[in-house]
Structure 1
């Protein structure tokens, strides 16, 4: 909030410092000023509610002392020097600002008032809910009574007292039914009247007891009342002190909770980082073991390659280039051998084909011999 007031708007000393700022910086400055104004408006609204609610004696000691002295000094210096009055006015603005403890105190009191209002609203809503529940129960009882009476009327009068010859309701039974209902209603009214009279007697007894208690209270002397007032005032002062201590402890607890939450966040981040590092270490160890195994395999292969290389070097050292005629003769022998191999491959193919045909004929002969054996067995049977 205080960062927005850091720009000096006094143009007496030189050029306007806002001209040196870019559009983006001006936009950011305006946004920060608007946010600071919103916060200040909320704080001002809360402070006005607090001042309208509390008594003047509660705020005289905490805020009046800051208002009286700087205001007088500002009025005295206004006619002498404008620059000095501006500096005094800025000092006055700084002195009139609430401290963090005062803001916390006001916020705690507003929170308590809101909680009390919420509790009152809850109680009122519960009362209205109980009232509506009672009305619903009463309507359910009356509805059940009406259904019961209509069922009984239909059972006893509309169906039970009908003349089978004329298919009409017998008037005597109908009158008797209504007489019985009226008598039952009269008895109920009498019971309710007796209950009401007993409740009135109980109410009179309670009122007499209350009057007797009030008369016993008037016997006390004025000195006793003064003593009670003094004790009540002392208790109220103690309660205020305890409330102040409670608010201070709440403020301390909020600070400790904030610190604890910050440390918890750091602990969670460090635990996540340690888990990540542990997993990365395990992966690196696995990679190291694989690399070691591959290194051993490569060493073995390197030893084999060195042996082969030495052997090839020895062969290369003892290598002798043959003559051209020897090479030609060897090449001619190679061509002859390849021709012989091709001819032998053709002979092998022909022999395989002949073998296949012989095998087929042999299978056919076996099948024919088996069939002839079966036919002979059948003929002999």
Structure 2
């Protein structure tokens, strides 16, 4: 027991003598601990990144690279009892062998960043697809709800209220059967219509895919690079337009300066002959230049006015077309197809009315024939009465 106490005292004494942290204050020790924790966090994040990179690059070797649970653990006292200088020298050599360089760390971080971006893009695509499926499901559910409400309303209107016998107060079975038969026929026609529409859409899809393939083979398909190129060209054209506008302003200023010089030459006093001839030539050239610039300015102004008029006409045509389009859309939205039951009833009423009209026309024809016979008979009676009057008059004479 005494030997152990002596050994412990000796070791503690040597530790206090060799430990460089013994002379530091509490604040310095706290700062060292904070720095150590921060460094450990950085090393932990680098280690996790390297493990992800290693698992992705060599997935087979990572399975075999597992720590052995039966590895003997060295006691802390044994590590403490080793020589400090020897352990420090060996640890620095191992660190030099095992640590990554800055280039390797940057390469691994760049690859992990690219992989993370790819995963984010995949997750975005997957989430968009899931949202599209949910939206399609919601639209389908809304359409089904509207169809169910419409069918309920029609059934209540045509069967529950419209097909009740007034005498018995019960629903007429024939009308119910006819209602369901009409519904089934309408469903069959709708299915046939949708099938034809689906087939036409498939044909159009095949045609478009063939055209797209041909354009891809010929190199005529516009990609994102082409759109970027068009944006760049548009920017260049806008810059050219600005340059032309600046040039037009410069020409206008030049024309003003030329007019000022011309006026100056006009009011100048006459000089000797040689100088007068030179000034006249210069005046003539400047006058010609001013006239040319004036005509160019007039042509540019006329072009500007023409462009303004054309833009005004185009805007009016656009407004008229937009108004017409809105009216057509409103008419299309307000258009309603009558129900099959109403159509059948109207058709039956029309046939009954046509029969009644035909019967009345026949009666009128019979009455006209009877009228003709009665008129003929009346004419005969009237002629006989006239003859009898004439005969009686002769007898009296």
TM range (shorter): 0.3 to 0.5
| TM-score, length of structure 1 as denominator length | 0.39
Give 1 or 2 for the bigger CA radius of gyration: 1
